[in-house]
Structure 1
């Protein structure tokens, strides 16, 4: 399991890294906005940890980026107390406030499928969609699948409204009836259950392929086509 730690102060960094190692988690450290972007674009992570003094005092961090990371990844805010050497963790995955928050957070991250930072910007789009747990039969009218819609989409994946029980790593086929005849193979990258937070329930899907018709629609919506190669399977010789 690999984590990304955003921290600048040396003593706090050493303490956080040691605590994560003791919990069985490797971590990369970003002390600047440039290091953060480089790490997110080249590695996949199970979660992100923010040192509170770093993100408050360091002016070069893009607040929109930090907010987006907290939406996409399990995240936690950390504070190191130099007087007691204690670590305090605050976040929705940490449970009630306590000194055990970091261990609770790390345990929760084990169920999150590691992922990198999406390179294509999300576009808000309510596209009719049908979710399938097995490949749909050609020519079916959606009966047997979960009829729903997307809330946003990018060249690497989409978020689809759903109250069904999904798990990170589940295989899924998603149809876009208004766009393409063939279902798109995808995988559940993250799941927002119904009623757990004041958030839209559903699944964040990573596309495993991009049919031509879907690719054309993504371009029309304003998604960056240079990222399609990332989500598509390798080309045959």
Structure 2
């Protein structure tokens, strides 16, 4: 189970992470809007947690964007009591403001289908692509090299793409993709999720987040109609 925690550095954040780990939840932490954007591009989440002092005092966070997060995911506000070293969770899914509030929230999140935060609309597009586990030489089409897998995108967004493949990939792995009809420059990417083969309703493949985007690729994505939206890494299906 994967949570997103918005919190500044300090004892409070350390205690939040300790309690979440004790409850079996892995946590991605965002301290700044930039870190929140990066986290949004990499993972699916079962829930989101907000440290109250952070969201009240940090003026750089867009309060409207934080509210949208709370509407997309089960959410809770966290408070730390330094005098007792206790963590309290408040919110619709967090139960009463007691020491049990966080455990109630985590238990509720177990039934929530993990979602990824979207920041742009997906566009259906079938771009020829060659998928690599290591960086290929510039201009290498992958002929005869088992390291390069010929495939194509099923859809793309300004922040990533979904590639058809039956090969096993792990979330977080680095990948390299060449789009031969667009540019010979390999594009460094990271696996945001993996859809295994043999699911009846979902195409197998990997959702990849761009870690860099050559100008030619940016231009092609724009030509295809990819634009930045309010809250996207492409995915196999049309739903989140």
TM-score (ref. length: structure 2): 0.52
Q: C-alpha displacement at 1:97, in angstroms?
A: 2.7
Which residue number in structure 1 is paired with residue 42 of structure 2?
42
CA distance in 2, matches of 1:19, 1:100: 11
Structure 1 portions without partners, runs of 5+: 122-154, 156-206, 210-223
Give the SS at the match of 1:94.
coil
CA distance in 2, matches of 1:112, 1:45: 9
Which residue number in structure 2 is paired with residue 230 of structure 1?
234
Contact 1:9–1:54 under 8 Å retained in 2? no
Which residue number in structure 1 is paired with residue 77 of structure 2?
77
- What are the within-5 Å matches in structure 2 for residues 65-104 of structure 1? 65-104=65-104
Number of aligned residues: 136
Which residue number in structure 1 is paired with residue 136 of structure 2?
none
Distance 1:229 1:33, change over 3 A: closer
Point out which structure has higher relative CO (alpha carbons under 8 A, 6+ apart).
2
Distance 1:85 1:35, change over 3 A: same
CA distance in 2, matches of 1:232, 1:85: 44
CA distance in 1, matches of 2:42, 2:233: 15
Structure 2 portions without partners, runs of 5+: 122-156, 158-200, 204-223
Report the aligned-residue RMSD: 2.6
Contact 1:208–1:231 under 8 Å retained in 2? no
Contact 1:52–1:77 under 8 Å retained in 2? yes
TM-score (ref. length: structure 1): 0.53
Q: C-alpha displacement at 1:94, in angstroms?
A: 1.1
